[in-house]
Amino acid sequence: MIENPSGYPATLVFNPPEKIANWRPLVQWLLALPHSLIVQVLGRVSQIIAIISWFAIVFTGKIPEGLAGVQMMYIRYETRTYSYVGFLREEYPPFTFATTAADPLDDPRVRVDFQPQLTDRNRVTVFFRIFLMIPHLIALAVLGVAAFVVYVIAWFAVLFTGRFPEGMRNFVLGVMRWYVRLSSYSLLLHDVYPPFSLD
């Protein structure tokens, strides 16, 4: 189990498999199409909810629990899907849509937990949230290119050995962890600025 000791309000824990079937990199992305389509739809819904949440927080200092729940569900579902598409695991992600802060533990590999801040929000940082995210978006763009290169190399490693090299996997998981933290911040689940860290 690869833990996330950061204590940040959004955490990702991944339980890596010992081995991955050699054929998985060839077709896993295709098997994930139903999940990928759901992620696209949920992403659109999430964007609309983010706008509504922005107005709610700026004017009231609170985010409705229901809106926060949908955002947490979206980030969790997206993370599980991407871990499967990226052949980090063999188990097919469940079609579950729990809107709870604590992970329902219905996925054997991926756990994403949240500590949403529903009240006493910092309206100033929420008002300027889009600008505060820019340094992270730039960093993640660079890391995303590096992660793509790592995936290409890992594709061949898994194809020929059935193993995702540990260092490469840890790097990819670090980028995913950073993305989860930034997503929780950008979707207004809390006001804690994300660290510039893969841990």
pLDDT digits (tens, 9 = 90+) for 66-106: 999 999 999 999 999 999 999 999 999 999 999 999 999 99
Residue 141 lies in domain: 10-186
**Residue 4 above 60 pLDDT?**
no
Does 140 fall in a domain? yes
pLDDT band of 199, cuts 50, 70, 90: confident
Does 197 fall in a domain? no
3-class secondary structure, 48? helix
Tell me how many domains the chain contains. 1
**Contacts of residue 115, Cβ cutoff 8 Å, sequence gap at least 6:** 9, 10, 101, 190
Does 199 fall in a domain? no
Tokens of 121: 């929000």
Does 142 fall in a domain? yes
**Contacts of residue 158, Cβ cutoff 8 Å, sequence gap at least 6:** 20, 22, 24, 25, 87, 164
Q: Which of 167, 144, 143, 164 is nearest to 155 (CA)?
A: 164
Q: What's the pTM?
A: 0.94
Does 154 fall in a domain? yes
